[in-house]
Amino acid sequence: MKRNDAPAQYKWDFSHLYQDNKAWKADLAKIVKKLEEIITFKGKLNDPGVFKKYVLLDEEIDLLASKMGQYLHMGDIDTTDLSYQELAGIYSNTLNQISSQLAFIAPELKAIGKDTVMMWIKNDADLSTYEYSYRKFFKNAKYILSERDEEVLALVTRSRGVAYDLYDLLAYADKKPVFIDYHGKNTELTSAVYSEIMEKSDPLADQEFRIKTAQLFTEHLTDKKHSFARVYEGIIQHSVEAVRLRGYQNTLQAALSSDDVSEEIYASLIKYGQENSHLFVRYNELLKKHFKFKKFYATDRSLKLVSNVASLDKKYTVEEAKAMIRESLQPLGQDYLAQLEAAWSDHRIDYFEDTNKRSGAYSSGGSGVDPIILMNWDDTIGSVNTLAHEAGHSVHTLLADLNNKYPLNNYPIILAEVASTVNEHLLFDYLYKHATSKEEKIYLLQNRIDEIMATFFRQIHFADFEWTAHKMVENNEPLDADKLADLFEQKANEFGYTVFDKYDATKKSYGWPRILHFFNSPYYVYKYATCIVASFKLYNDVINGEPDHLLKFLKQGGQKEPLLILKDIGIDYTDSNVYTGLISKLTAMIDDLEQLLLGKA
């Protein structure tokens, strides 16, 4: 079904936010007025009354900004509608013009001192919810520069950030379609066609075809490898300069500081990933053996072990999917299920794909703004899984908002993927339990193993790569396309990629430019791995009759340091036993898959 043909309740309706763009612009004017009032507080924040006015005005601005940002998501429904891009540009330009005039705030608060500010907060009930925010602020206050230096940095931030935009321009702007001879037809090599070839082509007869397809699919990136290398080096250099100016020891420390994560935890994640990469090797050797490959290339690893499984080719309506998800999440209890119904109530989810709709899926909202979900429903079991995942985000947001006043409702990214992944685990259990054939079980197991491998081992491999690349720049070592290619291969091999044969040992592979997060969100990918580790602990609690641990986690929002929130429910990344749940489950899944393939289950 196309979006235009869908019932109204399956589409977003943002009229409760703004009736039109004019109303949105009126709120922007309100934000500007409030910011201009804050500017008048310069030199006066040492007055407790002025400090309180600043904090409450800042809260009003944030809440308005949340509402305005939610409205701009409507631009994802039709990316050719430039009106929403125009609004986003107006918002960005307006705030950029003012930001340098606000640079006095952090240095001034730092000068007032922790004891005084925390006393003001403690003695004023209206400010009590800011205790954690300012405790965190003063923990990192030593990295705040003088007012003049902060003002200069604010002024140049936009120009210094140009490198981040260059990646999108190189990777996507003016990208021309490429075509391939597929089933006797000259076919455009879209992402969907690429996936179909990688997953469903003939294992042996089409081995060369998959290699050529992969080369063609990434050609637009490989051809620009030297440009990407310079952009990436520029992004890292920008980070290195910023952390040196502020006095951090290195870029990793700076990146982890906002979540209070230690460099030791980051390093231990990489260590445990490498130590358990034998599971990645074992799984891929299982595929190699099953398909009877003499040479096994990375382009062979996505091949499906079974095909034409009638039960998996079934098309699911939205309502059928909801029924399945409700049933699979019954162990979470009525409190959770009530919020689930709110999360997918009418107009909260824009389900169906359209020609110019943004691809993929996401959940967005919070701070008084009802969470929404964007999807591209294609009636497959994959869409059912995506809905369960995104609904997990929305329920997390709803429970955090219900149980915490602003700003304690805002949970950080390092916690964000936990609840959504628990939903995936429970949905898998439901589907596996109701599988009607051996082939269906094989299909489900392979999909789930692939997802876990990609979220754990692959993201840790990426995390190790970018950490090492940053250290090279910190040590004044120049980067180039070949060095980055060698580094990416080295790190891949440390996580089990030696299981794959090289098609041409004389040529380098330039896979690293495909990873958007390296360019747009440095030191982000490790959070996917930590989240899936935490999710398996909570999943095990749920299936053992203790869903309250998950609910407690969801209701805490961002009350305190994220690692302390996790410790409250028994998750401690400094203890190697935290990885046991994931490793045990993954091992059991590979065992089950092997038995099914051998015909012993």
Residue type, 212: K
pLDDT digits (tens, 9 = 90+) for 524-540: 999 999 999 999 999 99
pLDDT digits (tens, 9 = 90+) for 43-53: 999 999 999 99
Q: What is the DSSP string of 313-378?
A: S----HHHHHHHHHHHTGGG-HHHHHHHHHHTSTTSEEEE--TTSPPS-EEEEETTEEEEEEEEE-
**Rounded distance between C-alpha atoms, residue 232 and residue 209, angstroms:** 31
Which among 250, 249, 252 is positioned nearest to 266, based on CA atoms?
A: 252
pLDDT band at 572 (very low <50, low <70, confident <90, very high): very high
Tokens of 377: 């429903």
Give the angle 409-414-417 at the CA atoms, nearest 5°. Answer: 85
CA distances from 44 to 53, 93, 116, 156, 569 (A): 11, 27, 14, 26, 42
User: What pLDDT, on the 0 to 100 scale, is given for residue 119?
Assistant: 98
pLDDT band at 32 (very low <50, low <70, confident <90, very high): very high
**Angle between helices 481-494 and 459-474 in degrees, nearest 10:** 140
Looking at 30-34, 121-125, 242-246, which range is the least confident one? 242-246
Residue 599: pLDDT above 90?
A: no
Asked whether 24 and 87 are in contact (CB, 8 A), the reply is yes
How do beta strands 179-182 and 349-352 pair? unpaired
Residue 600: pLDDT above 70?
A: no
Contacts of 563 (CB under 8 A, 6+ apart): 259, 260, 261, 265, 573
User: What pLDDT, on the 0 to 100 scale, is given for residue 160?
Assistant: 58
Which among 166, 164, 157, 163 is positioned nearest to 242, based on CA atoms?
A: 157
User: What pLDDT, on the 0 to 100 scale, is given for residue 311?
Assistant: 67
User: What pLDDT, on the 0 to 100 scale, is given for residue 172?
Assistant: 75
User: What pLDDT, on the 0 to 100 scale, is given for residue 80?
Assistant: 87
CA distances from 55 to 47, 120, 151, 402 (A): 12, 12, 20, 22
pLDDT digits (tens, 9 = 90+) for 1-28: 889 899 999 999 999 999 999 999 999 9
**335-352 mean pLDDT:** 97
User: What pLDDT, on the 0 to 100 scale, is given for residue 191?
Assistant: 83
**Rounded distance between C-alpha atoms, residue 72 and residue 86, angstroms:** 10
**Rounded distance between C-alpha atoms, residue 573 and residue 91, angstroms:** 39
pLDDT band at 75 (very low <50, low <70, confident <90, very high): very high
pLDDT digits (tens, 9 = 90+) for 452-483: 999 999 999 999 999 999 999 999 999 999 99
CA distances from 574 to 268, 378, 528, 552 (A): 8, 41, 17, 21
Mean pLDDT of the chain: 94
User: What pLDDT, on the 0 to 100 scale, is given for residue 537?
Assistant: 96
Residue 170: pLDDT above 90?
A: no
- DSSP 8-state secondary structure symbol assigned to residue 573: T
Contacts of 566 (CB under 8 A, 6+ apart): 415, 534, 553, 572, 573
pLDDT digits (tens, 9 = 90+) for 363-421: 999 999 999 999 999 998 889 999 999 999 999 999 999 999 999 999 999 999 999 99
**311-319 mean pLDDT:** 85
